[in-house]
Amino acid sequence: MRAAILSGLLCSAAFAQAADPAWNRMIESKRQVTAYLERMAREITRRAAAEIASRESWERVRAQRIEEMRDMLGLLPWPERAPLNARVTGTLDKGAYLIEKLAFESLPKVYVTANLYLPKERAGRVPAIVYVCGHSYSPHGAKAKYQRHGISLAKNGYAALIVDPIQLAETFALHHGVQSQEMWEWYARGYSPAGVEVWNAMRAIDYLETRPEVDSGRIGMTGRSGGAAMTWFTAAVDARVKAAMPVMGISTYAANVALNTQRLHCDCMFPINSLLHDMLHQGALIAPRPLWMAHGRKDALFPVPGYEEFERTIGALFESYGRRAVFDNLVVETGHEDSDFLREQSVRFFDRHLLRTARKPEMDYSNAPEAELAVFPAGPPADALNYRIHELFLPTPEFRAYPDRAAWEARAAGLRSLLRSKVFKAFPADAAAPPLDIARAARADGAAFDRLEFTSEMGVRIRGLIRGAAPAAAKVPALLWVASDGDTERSLGTLIRVSRPPDRFVRAVVFPRGVDETGWDKSFYKDTMRNAMHVGHTIDSMRLWDVLRALQALRAQPGVDPDRILAGGQGVSGVLALYAALLDPGVHQVVLQNPPSSHLDGPYFLNILRYTDLPEAAALLAPRRLNFLGRMPAAFESARRVYSLYGLPGHIHVSMELDALLEGRYHHNFGSGI
């Protein structure tokens, strides 16, 4: 009986949801945004494949793509190569090889722990391999779990430096800020732990170059899983890596987004893809150096269609260089796992390309107790800043005072250029945007608004509400209010006072994708946020584009004065209105209600905190009016300095009602009525 009652309740709930317009709109918005991201990803992969179709086409853009890759890793410009302060805290004698327990500072007070395996018998300098670890935990660092690789390499004549990844080291830093802890601000910072890992690997090479045992002209790199990703990235941006063998794996964004594989991955596996690269670019940037990759056919993290397309495309590029023989993809019938077979194949690969020999390598090993490999057995240095590296790696420039208007306008012009080229590069060109295809339906009996709908991007329809339409000869001001999650027609009607006489103003509301009475669930939000990053977006940047298109749709409505549009919203939605005005100079003024004071709290645009934060972004609106509804957070007072350079400090204004702003009343000497 209880089961029957429960079944009945569930069926009733499902029927009620199916009959709920807000629920249906939410489901449709999920479908639309998912299809949109898949289309974007396919186009990114297609463009990349065309670009690297031949040596000739690739060499035309190669230098630019290296610089862009560095930028997306947070390595443009390079961080300062501060002293490594390297120290060996102990040495283990294992007969045929030595293990040195090594620490160095990749950045001041950012400690890297590693083990250096050295063959005892050496006839001069030996080639060196940087081994970067995957996600395998030991309290003594991941290096303790991968020591078999160091042993195999040392017993076969290589110096092997096994480097701990930052989250799996002897002192903690974070890999899973977005994936696990929903630290969306990482995207606003332009921060991926991949950037730190690549820098650590490069500093490891710097260290190897100081060792008298090492031939610095013969350095290779390998690793599995997360170590494969760091091998791809490091070899792509550092030509000192002469041969690379990333093991599990690589794909394309087309394959990854279609199969939603990001849900299985740590944040370290991807750069911040603001400049719209594909993973194919990683292989192209390594070409024509020796590159051998390996994959497991049953590995869900790196889908077969992705690595097969990668192999075809990059193989053809190597062919055009006349170097097809130094590139291959070894596929094993396993899942995402290491094996003795793959370990041996990596030694054979480096034998061919660094030792120029063919032999049966010695593969026997005996692991040391993990605790013996600890670099800091009594604990890491107390001054270690590793745990704060995501805050320190890419600091936000200070919003400083400018001596005069010319100095500010030079800064403002540069900042606007950065917004277009480094933050919102994924926005389509105006000529590429589809027709708005506006549909307007008269409101039902008792409703406050007419219904409005338009196309934002191909396959993405956006909902709006609109009230008021004056004759074409009597243009009136218009308000575009950006809705927030949970807003209803009733709550919005109260907020923007639709009970006032309808013909004095046009009042419109836009619901950007995913914003409605019933919003996206958190799991879908997270998947969408991470997949959007792969195609140069965030959820907020997609929503910003919707607001920009809503402005176009509003200007097309009868009775709207296109030169008197007030854009605004509450919280993060208000900041979307602000950025829409920054990108659309036709917006007359902006109103913010309870906005965040920093992009750390949203909206989250890729890289924005690398270049500016909200108070300075607000100042970019000058000399247009910037209004605050009810109160102005103290952080925005600094924007008044810029308005003062124009002689207009009063153009930052606190108002108590929207109608006053629409009427151009920037004082409080009036009665508002009902």
Determine contact, residues 204/100, Cβ cutoff 8 Å. no
pLDDT, tens digit (0-9, with 9 covering 90-100), for 238-295: 999 999 999 998 999 999 999 999 999 999 999 999 999 999 999 999 999 999 999 9
- Specify the number of domains making up the chain: 2
Whether 11 is in a domain gets the answer: no
Q: Residue 352 CB: number of other CB atoms within 10 A?
A: 16
Write down the pLDDT at residue 3.
45
Return the structure tokens found at 617. 């972004």
Same domain, 328 and 354: yes
- Rounded CA-CA distance 244/129 in Å is 9
Write down the pLDDT at residue 13.
45
Instruction: Give rounded-to-5 percent helix, strand, coil for the chain.
Output: 45, 20, 40
Amino acid at 512: P
Same domain, 428 and 358: no
Q: Sign of dihedral through CA atoms 183, 189, 190, 194?
A: negative
Helices (H), 119-225: 147-155, 185-189, 193-210
SS (H, E, C) 292-326: EEEEECCCCCCCHHHHHHHHHHHHHHHHHCCCHHH
Q: Residue 1 CB: number of other CB atoms within 10 A?
A: 5
Domain boundary among 392, 416, 436: 392
Whether 506 is in a domain gets the answer: yes
Same domain, 542 and 630: yes
> Which residue's structure tokens are 């007359």?
588
Amino acid at 519: G
pLDDT, tens digit (0-9, with 9 covering 90-100), for 553-565: 999 998 999 999 9
Residue 579, C-beta contacts closer than 8 angstroms, at least 6 positions apart: 544, 603, 605, 617
Q: Sign of dihedral through CA atoms 331, 333, 337, 341?
A: negative
Domain boundary among 329, 363, 392: 392
Q: How many CA atoms lie within 13 A of 125 on its CB side?
A: 14
Residue 63, C-beta contacts closer than 8 angstroms, at least 6 positions apart: none
Write down the pLDDT at residue 468.
83
Write down the pLDDT at residue 306.
96
Same domain, 213 and 309: yes
Q: How far is CA 307 from CA 34, 313, 328, in A?
A: 22, 10, 11
Determine contact, residues 515/490, Cβ cutoff 8 Å. no
Q: Which residue(s) pair with 130 in the sheet? A: 161, 221
Determine contact, residues 221/424, Cβ cutoff 8 Å. no
Helices (H), 442-594: 489-495, 522-534, 539-555, 572-583
Please work out, in degrees rounded to the nearest 5, the angle formed at the alpha carbon of residue 620 by the alpha carbons of 618 and 626.
50
Tell me the angle at which helices 193-210 and 62-73 cross, rounded to the nearest 10 degrees: 110
Write down the pLDDT at residue 9.
32
CATH number of the domain bearing residue 425: 3.40.50.1820
Same domain, 230 and 292: yes
Strands 97-107 and 476-482: unpaired
- Rounded CA-CA distance 576/578 in Å is 5
Could you list the mean pLDDT of each consecutive 10-residue stretch along the chain, which spans 674 residues?
Answer: 38 56 96 98 98 98 98 98 98 98 98 98 96 94 97 98 95 93 97 98 98 98 96 98 96 97 95 98 98 96 96 98 98 94 97 95 96 96 97 97 98 98 94 92 82 97 88 83 95 80 83 97 97 98 98 95 97 98 98 98 98 98 98 98 98 94 89 66
- Rounded CA-CA distance 82/240 in Å is 19
What letter would DSSP give residue 420? I
Same domain, 446 and 303: no
Write down the pLDDT at residue 18.
58
Q: Residue 448 CB: number of other CB atoms within 10 A?
A: 17
Whether 344 is in a domain gets the answer: yes
Q: How many residues does the chain have?
A: 674
Write down the pLDDT at residue 12.
43
Q: Residue 28 CB: number of other CB atoms within 10 A?
A: 12
Whether 142 is in a domain gets the answer: yes
Write down the pLDDT at residue 11.
44
Same domain, 368 and 447: no
- Rounded CA-CA distance 516/278 in Å is 33
Residue 588, C-beta contacts closer than 8 angstroms, at least 6 positions apart: 477, 563, 564, 565, 566, 624, 625
User: In 3-state terms, what secondary structure has residue 73?
Assistant: helix
Same domain, 353 and 446: no
Residue 615's nearest CA partner among 629, 606, 626 is: 626
- C-alpha Rg value of the chain to the nearest Å: 29
- Rounded CA-CA distance 40/536 in Å is 9
Residue 281: give the domain boundaries.
72-392
Same domain, 597 and 643: yes
Whether 636 is in a domain gets the answer: yes
Determine contact, residues 518/23, Cβ cutoff 8 Å. yes
Same domain, 498 and 376: no
- Rounded CA-CA distance 293/359 in Å is 20
Q: How many CA atoms lie within 13 A of 303 on its CB side?
A: 15
Whether 220 is in a domain gets the answer: yes
Domain boundary among 341, 359, 392: 392
Same domain, 366 and 486: no
Give me the torsion for CA of 83, 89, 92, 98, rounded to 10°.
10
Whether 172 is in a domain gets the answer: yes
What letter would DSSP give residue 457? E
Whether 493 is in a domain gets the answer: yes
Same domain, 350 and 381: yes
